Amino acid sequence: MRSLLALALAGLAVACSDDHTHDHTHAKRLPPSVPLTPPSRPLQWGSLNIIHTTDSHGWLLGHQHTSFPEPNYSGDFGDFASFVTHMKALALEKDVDLLLVDSGDLHDGTGLSDGYPPGGVDAHASNQFFKELPYDLLTIGNHELYIYNNTLDTLENVVSHFPGRYLSSNVNITINGTSAPVGDRFAKFKTRKGRSVTSLGVLYDFTGNDVGTTVQFVADMVKEEWFAEAIKEEPDLFLLAGHMPIAEDNWPAVYNAVRAVHPLTPIIILGGHSHVRNCLQYDGRSISLESGRYMETVGWMSADLPPPNSGDSKHNITFSRRYLDPNRVTYEYHTGQGNFSFDTPWGQSITKGLEQLAVNFDLSFEYGIAPHDFTLSRSPYPSNGSVLSLMVEAMPVALTINNTRASIPNIMITNSGELRFDIFSGTFTKNDQLTASPFMDSFLYIPNVTFSAASAVLPALNGEGADNRRRDPGVQAELWARGYVEARYHEWLGEMYQRDLQRRGGERRASAPENLTLGYVTTDTCPGVGDDTPHTPLPFFSSPDFIASALPNVADDAPIDLVFVDFIEDQLLEVLNSVQTVKNYTSADVASYTDVLSSEVLGVYAQEAWN
Give the CATH number of the domain where residue 166 resides: 3.60.21.10
In a domain, 492, yes or no: no
Q: Are strands 213-215 and 171-175 parallel, antiparallel or unpaired?
A: antiparallel
Among 358, 390, 418, where does a domain finish? 358
Whether residues 352 and 392 fall in one domain: no
Question: Which three-class secondary structure state does DSSP give residue 388?
Answer: helix
**Residues 258 and 345 reside in one and the same domain:** yes
Strands of the sheet containing 166-167, edge to edge, are 166-167, 137-139, 97-102, 48-53, 298-303, 319-324
Considering the domain architecture, whether residues 458 and 565 belong to the same structural domain is answered as: yes
Q: What is the pLDDT of residue 53?
A: 98
Residue 9 lies in a domain: yes
Number of domains the chain is built from: 2
Segment 456-466, tens digit of pLDDT:
999 999 986 54
Position 24 scores a pLDDT of 35
Q: 394 and 350, same structural domain?
A: no
β-partners of residue 240 are: 200, 269
Which stretches of the chain score pLDDT less than 70? 1-33, 311-312, 464-471, 506-514
Burial 92-130 (b: 16+ CB within 10 A, else e): eeeebbbbbbbbbbbbbbbbbbbbbeeebbbbbbbbbbb
Exposure on the CB side of residue 441, measured as CA atoms within 13 A: 21
pLDDT score at 484: 82
Q: Which of 358, 388, 417 is the last residue of a domain?
A: 358
* 315 domain-assigned: yes
Are 158 and 263 in the same domain?
yes
pLDDT for position 466:
41
pLDDT at 311: 66
Instruction: Give the end of a domain, one of 342, 358, 374.
Output: 358
**Beta strand extents in 205-257 (DSSP E only):** 213-215, 237-243
Q: Is residue 124 part of a domain?
A: yes
DSSP characters over 270-321: EE-SS--EEEE-SSTTEEEEEE-STTS-EEEEEE-PPPTT----SS---EEE
Domain annotation covers residue 447: yes
The verdict on 334 and 384 lying in the same domain is: no
Q: Give the Cα separation of 480 and 249 in Å (integer).
A: 11
In a domain, 502, yes or no: no
249 and 370 within one domain = no
Give domain status of residue 28, yes or no: no
Residue 534 falls inside a structural domain: no
Q: What is the pLDDT of residue 503?
A: 84
Domain containing residue 430: CATH number:
3.90.780.10
Domain that holds residue 456: 366-462+544-609
Return the sign of the alpha-carbon dihedral for residues 66, 71, 77, 82: positive
- Kindly calculate the radius of gyration of the chain based on its CA atoms and give it in whole angstroms: 25
Same domain, 385 and 348: no
Question: Over the stretch 227-282, which tens digit does the pLDDT of each residue have?
Answer: 999 999 999 999 999 999 999 999 999 999 999 999 999 999 999 999 999 999 99
Task: Please check whether residues 157 and 180 belong to one and the same domain.
Answer: yes
**401 and 354 inside one domain:** no
pLDDT, tens digit, for every residue of 200-212?
Answer: 999 999 999 999 9
427/446 same-domain check: yes
- Residue 156 and residue 219 share a domain: yes
CA angle (565, 570, 574) in 5-degree steps = 115
Q: How far apart are the C-alpha atoms of 524 and 532, rounded to whole Å? A: 14
Helix, coil or strand: residue 212: coil
